[in-house]
Every structure is written in structure tokens, then in C-alpha cells.
């Protein structure tokens, strides 16, 4: 019988807890995963009752992220998310919370409980990590500013975890980024130059895979990593079209892009990846032009099938017409003037009428961004 609502202290009813305990003991289970949120009290009670280690959805994702992080920024992001998560779960780490220890006022004060001391230690560590991350973010912004001065469009790969983004990235650029059949193989953004069939050069960016119900700690922690998507001139949404829940995964990705604040005017191409896993009839149907929706390209990052058409579509999407215009900015509009130079769209500049006259050569999208400053 289904519970009307989760049990506040134990999550499950007493009968189900006893049934699961017997099954765990019989099978020698040492780790139990719960696909959903589990409160600190529920986790402590269930671990005590079942004599196993228990992880909820957030805890499992954090464990995977900790195993995948490689760069300094990735490691710091994971540590920050893990500390935020652990701070709420100190209740399950201590069985002596009734104990108090004295103090002299400058180390927690008299009567400070152990849990208060641990929370304070975590808070101090969070502050330290955030300072280190601020330096990393500043360095990333300097790199981003340098790329703006070199007017190469940025193409960002996004998609659900394990959709094949890194395999596609490697196929298109000739790189050797880690690409495996596992969740969150990529945590750290990677960028490479890519030459399109037209000869135009672009920067291709591989990003962390998305997942449904991404824990809030991770959304906040990895926002800096995902900022590369906000700077993109074109987004390639890579989908595992062979996955039975491909539509649901695609909807989750769209929701996360919206929550990040991605400009809806930025063009997006759906890449229906892994067609090599489909039967011949369905693969042929996807590859037929009249069987696809506009803005969709079926391909296989593993075999390279369909990638010529995808690259042609990327060239077309980035081939937005540029126009020449003359702008007049006052001396007080230094921020807007600096933005134009960062974008590499200024072709000539002179002082005139108490300000600057700038000749620019830009796209409609760049003009829209400028007007929003």
C-alpha cells in the first residue's frame, strides 16, 4: 500500500523498513541509494535501523562529481557544494550533541556545543574556498575578455549527462577530452578552436552535463562553469536520441538553460546523437531531411555519420549578416565603449562633439547586446 506522504522520521512505513532490512541483510547490502531527497534525521534513523551507509540523490551526485573533478576549479566547486550539503547533515555525524565545552569567548564562547563548533569550522572553510574560487573566476573572466578581443564566435555544447558531448567535441576538434559511457565524465569546461567548412574559425566549448532535479548546491556551485554557455554565439543541444527518455531529458536541459538566463535570441541547434545505436529504418528516417524538424540534425559522434550536415548548419547559423554603423558616445559612456572594443567590432574611432564617434561592423545580435548595456 502506498504511503499518503513520506514518514517524517523514517521516510518509509515500519512494515516497509522491516521488509527492506531483511532483504539487505540477506543480500549483504552495505550501501543504499535513495533516488530523491532524504532529510538528515531520516538518513540517520535509516542508517541506524538498517546498519548500512545511505546516500540520497544529492549525496550520490556529489560523490560522482568528487570522483570526476580534475582541474583546480572543478575540485573547489565540488568541495564548496559538499560543504554546503554536509552543514545541514551534522545531526547524523554526532551522537554526543548534548555535550558542551567551555571557552574563553574568542573560540566559540562558553557552552559551545560540538555541532556548533563543527558548523563554524565548515563556515570558515566555505569562506576560504569562496576566496580561492573568486581568484579562479577572475582568471576565467580575463581569458574570456581576451577571447572577445579575438572575434571568434563561441559555440557551446550542452546536453544531458552522457549524451555524447565530449565524444562529439573530440570528433569535431580532434581533441582527446575524456569521453566515456558514464555520468558526468566532463566537469571542467574545455575549449578548442574549430575550422568550419567555410574556413571560418570558431571556439567550441564542452560543458558539464545536465541532470534532472540538479541539487541547488550544485546549481549555485557550478554556475561559474556554466557561464561559458551565457557567452555563446551558438548553442548545440546534444541529445541521446537512442535513450528511451530522450524527450524528458531534453525538457530538463531547456529548463536549466532558462534558469541560467541564456538569451533566447541565441540560435540553438539540436543534435540528435547516437543514431548508430538505432535500427537501420529509424536511422534512415532521422537522416532524411523531410523527417526532421527545423534546427535539428541527426548524427553519430562515434562514427561521424551526419556531421558534415551539422558543420554546414553551424556555418549557416553563424553566418549572420553584419552591417556598418556609426555610433556617438559621450565621454561618460566608457563602459559601453569598452564593450565594443572587447567585442572586436570597432573599425575606426575619433573624438567628436564632446565624445567619441565609432564606426562598427556588427551583427544584429551584437547590436541588441550593446543596447542592453
Q: How far apart are CA 287 and CA 305, in angstroms?
A: 9
Q: How many CB atoms lie within 10 A of CB 352?
A: 11
Q: Are residues 203 and 311 in the same domain?
A: yes
Q: Are residues 224 and 79 in the same domain?
A: no
Q: How far apart are CA 290 and CA 74, in angstroms?
A: 42
Closest listed residue to residue 157, CA positions, set 207, 88, 221: 207
Is residue 142 one of the residues assigned to a domain?
A: no
The pLDDT assigned to 9 comes to: 82
Q: Are residues 314 and 328 in the same domain?
A: no
Neighbour-count burial for 133-171, b at 16+ CB within 10 Å, e otherwise: beebbeebeeeeeebbeeebbbbbbbbbbbbbbbbbbbb
Angle between helices 14-27 and 40-50 (to 10 degrees): 50
Residue count of the chain, please give it: 373
Q: Are residues 162 and 243 in the same domain?
A: yes
**Any bridge partners for residue 363, and if so which?**
322
SS (H, E, C) 112-145: EEHHHHHHHHHHHHHHHHHHHHHHHHHHHHHHHH
Per-residue model confidence as pLDDT tens digits over 310-341: 998 898 888 766 788 999 998 888 889 988 88
Is residue 335 one of the residues assigned to a domain?
A: yes
Q: Are residues 34 and 116 in the same domain?
A: no
Q: Are residues 231 and 309 in the same domain?
A: yes
Q: Are residues 201 and 311 in the same domain?
A: yes
The pLDDT assigned to 25 comes to: 92
Q: Are residues 313 and 340 in the same domain?
A: no
Q: How far is CA 339 from the centre of its chain?
A: 26
Q: Are residues 247 and 365 in the same domain?
A: no
Cβ atoms 273, 240 nearer than 8 A: yes
Is residue 331 one of the residues assigned to a domain?
A: yes
Per-residue model confidence as pLDDT tens digits over 8-41: 788 888 888 999 999 999 999 988 988 888 888 8
Is residue 8 one of the residues assigned to a domain?
A: no
Is residue 2 one of the residues assigned to a domain?
A: no
Is residue 146 one of the residues assigned to a domain?
A: no
Q: Are residues 95 and 177 in the same domain?
A: no
What domain count does the chain have? 4
Q: Are residues 59 and 74 in the same domain?
A: no
Is residue 1 one of the residues assigned to a domain?
A: no
Q: How far apart are CA 52 and CA 29, in angstroms?
A: 7
The pLDDT assigned to 220 comes to: 58
Instruction: Divide the 373 residues of the chain into consecutive groups of 10 and give the mean pLDDT of each group.
Output: 72 88 92 86 89 86 71 75 77 45 43 69 85 77 60 83 86 65 48 80 78 62 65 90 91 84 86 91 72 78 90 84 86 88 83 87 78 79
Last residue of a domain, one of 302, 318, 334: 318
The pLDDT assigned to 105 comes to: 41
Q: How far is CA 268 from the centre of its chain?
A: 17
At which residue does the C-alpha cell 546549481 appear? Answer: 219
Closest listed residue to residue 68, CA positions, set 196, 151, 184: 184
Is residue 141 one of the residues assigned to a domain?
A: no
Q: Domain range spanning residue 336?
A: 322-371
Q: Are residues 211 and 157 in the same domain?
A: yes
The pLDDT assigned to 182 comes to: 41
Where would I find the beta strands (DSSP E) of the chain? 31-34, 53-56, 100-101, 112-113, 154-159, 190-195, 201-206, 234-240, 268-273, 296-298, 322-330, 346-352, 355-363
3-state secondary structure of 156: strand
Amino acid at each position: 500500500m502506498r504511503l499518503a506522504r513520506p514518514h517524517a522520521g523514517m521516510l518509509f512505513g515500519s512494515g516497509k523498513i522491516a521488509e527492506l532490512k531483511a532483504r539487505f541483510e540477506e543480500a549483504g547490502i552495505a550501501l543504499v541509494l535513495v533516488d530523491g531527497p532524504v532529510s538528515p534525521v531520516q538518513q540517520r534513523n535509516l542508517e541506524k535501523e538498517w546498519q548500512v551507509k545511505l546516500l540520497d540523490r544529492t549525496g550520490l551526485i556529489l560523490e560522482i562529481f568528487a570522483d570526476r573533478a580534475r582541474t583546480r576549479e572543478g575540485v573547489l566547486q565540488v568541495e564548496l557544494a559538499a560543504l554546503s550539503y554536509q552543514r545541514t547533515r551534522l545531526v547524523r555525524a554526532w551522537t554526543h550533541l548534548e555535550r558542551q565545552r567551555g571557552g574563553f569567548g574568542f573560540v566559540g564562547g562558553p557552552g559551545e556545543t560540538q555541532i556548533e563548533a563543527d558548523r563554524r569550522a565548515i563556515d570558515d572553510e566555505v569562506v576560504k574556498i569562496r576566496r580561492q574560487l573568486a581568484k579562479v573566476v577572475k582568471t576565467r573572466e580575463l581569458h574570456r575578455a581576451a577571447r572577445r578581443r579575438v572575434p571568434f564566435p563561441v559555440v557551446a555544447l550542452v546536453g544531458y549527462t552522457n549524451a555524447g558531448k565530449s565524444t562529439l567535441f573530440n570528433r569535431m576538434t580532434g581533441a582527446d577530452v575524456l569521453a566515456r559511457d558514464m555520468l558526468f565524465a566532463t566537469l571542467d569546461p574545455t575549449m578548442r578552436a574549430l575550422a568550419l567548412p567555410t574556413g571560418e574559425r570558431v571556439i567550441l566549448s564542452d560543458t558539464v552535463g545536465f541532470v534532472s532535479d540538479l541539487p541547488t548546491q550544485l546549481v549555485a556551485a557550478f554556475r561559474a562553469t556554466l557561464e561559458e554557455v551565457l557567452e555563446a554565439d551558438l548553442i548545440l543541444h546534444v541529445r541521446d536520441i537512442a535513450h528511451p527518455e530522450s524527450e524528458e531529458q531534453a525538457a530538463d536541459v531547456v529548463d536549466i538553460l532558462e534558469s541560467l538566463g541564456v538569451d533566447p535570441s541565441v540560435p540553438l541547434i539540436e543534435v540528435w546523437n547516437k543514431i548508430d545505436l538505432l535500427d537501420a529504418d529509424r536511422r534512415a528516417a532521422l537522416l532524411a531531411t523531410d523527417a526532421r524538424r527545423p534546427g535539428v540534425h541527426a548524427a553519430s559522434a562515434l562514427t561521424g555519420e551526419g556531421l558534415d550536415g551539422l558543420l554546414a548548419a553551424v556555418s549557416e547559423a553563424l553566418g549572420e549578416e553584419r552591417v556598418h554603423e556609426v555610433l556617438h558616445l559621450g565621454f561618460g559612456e566608457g563602459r559601453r565603449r569598452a564593450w565594443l572594443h572587447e567585442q572586436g567590432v570597432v573599425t575606426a574611432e575619433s573624438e567628436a562633439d564632446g565624445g567619441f564617434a565609432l564606426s562598427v561592423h556588427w551583427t544584429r545580435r551584437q547590436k541588441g547586446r550593446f543596447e542592453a548595456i
